[in-house]
Structure 1
């Protein structure tokens, strides 16, 4: 369910702020993973960083569906 598609779905101010905080943390994690991916040589660590990048991007997209 998308908050943007369903006008009946409303978050409280505290819930909105919490989601913004989680999104900010995920964006920070995403940025760090992108930066580390550029310098990491180990294939296993590079794989883990790319998986974290995918997870963070997906989480951000899902959270944003609830934000106004």
Structure 2
């Protein structure tokens, strides 16, 4: 990937990745504690999407 990002753009992407990782950790913790099957399904879908988004952000930063 052609990575012609400015330093401010890289910092913003890094900040976004930190936020997404935080959301990922929270969803994982809540998923382990959830008892409702519908909620577990929603959290599982959120975990999958968040992992994909973090990987995509890492691609922009590397």
Match of 1:28 among 22, 25, 28: 22
Following TM superposition, by how much is the alpha carbon of 1:13 offset from its aligned partner in structure 2, in angstroms?
A: 0.5
Following TM superposition, by how much is the alpha carbon of 1:16 offset from its aligned partner in structure 2, in angstroms?
A: 0.2
Distance in 2, matches of 1:55 and 1:26, equals 10
The answer to which structure has the higher helix fraction is 2
Match of 1:11 among 5, 21, 27: 5
Q: Once superposed, which parts of structure 1, at least 4 consecutive aligned residues long, lie more than 3 Å away?
A: none
How many residue pairs get aligned? The number is 62
- 1:24-47 deviation digits (Å, cap 9, x = unpaired): 110000000110111100000000
Which consecutive residues of structure 2, in runs of 5 or more, have no partner in the other structure? Answer: none
User: TM-score, structure 2 length as denominator?
Assistant: 0.92
Which consecutive residues of structure 1, in runs of 5 or more, have no partner in the other structure? Answer: none
User: TM-score, structure 1 length as denominator?
Assistant: 0.85
Match of 2:42 among 48, 59, 66: 48
